Each structure stands twice: as C-alpha cells, then as structure tokens.
Amino acid sequence: AAGVIQSPRHLIKEKRETATLKCYPIPRHDTVYWYQQGPGQDPQFLISFYEKMQSDKGSIPDRFSAQQFSDYHSELNMSSLELGDSALYFCASSTGRNQPQHFGDGTRLSIL
C-alpha cells in the first residue's frame, strides 16, 4: 500500500541557512500534520492542514512556515536555522481530521 513520502530523507545545513522539507500524503488523504522529534524524545506537534487550510498550530517557531498545495502535498520551510533545530521531522496524513494519522519515515535534519 502507498505510504507517506518525505523528501529529502537526510539534510545537512549550517546555522542561519534555510531548508525546505516536502511531504507527499497517502493518495486521497486530505489532512497533513508535521511533527518534530528530537533525539530520545517523543514527537512534538508543529502544524497541520486540512483541505489546504491551516488547521491547528503547535509549538512551531516563527522562523518556520508551512503550506499545503492544491495536490495536497505539503512543504515545511525553515529559516535562520539553529543548532537546536537538529531533529527528525515527520509528516503524517489522514483521511480527515478524525481518522488515524499515518506517518512517513521522516527527514533527518542536521545543523552544523
């Protein structure tokens, strides 16, 4: 079965650079969520989109922005990167907000 696809899988950046993470949801899923998982920590919710509109907002820094496009894929844009932004970034999708969220394998972002 098709799964959530995230790209790139690994990304290395330096401080103060920008990064763009992409998420392609499972076909016919209209809801996308972004989570950040630090080393040895549980995933923390960043932001979500339902039918291309921002739905919920969590602990997402002002330096980060995200959007969902007409084909339902989503991008997380990160600017002025800091060492503390090093983490695994997961995208999840669901068929509506009441349904289980299915996760991709994440993008590992390393800030040097």
Partner 1 sequence: EDQVTQSPEALRLQEGESSSLNCSYTVSGLRGLFWYRQDPGKGPEFLFTLYSAGEEKEKERLKATLTKKESFLHITAPKPEDSATYLCAVQALNDYKLSFGAGTTVTVRA
Least distance in Å: CB of 105 to partner 1?
A: 5
User: Which run of H or of E encompasses 68?
Assistant: strand 64-68
* Least distance from partner 1 to the Cβ atom of residue 16, Å: 28
Question: What residues contact 84, with CB distance under 8 A and at least 6 apart?
Answer: 111
Cα(69)–Cα(52) distance, integer angstroms: 6
Nearer to partner 1, 20 or 44 (CB): 44
Binding region for partner 1 (CB under 8 A): 4, 31, 33, 35, 41-45, 48, 50, 55-56, 58, 90, 92, 97-98, 100-106
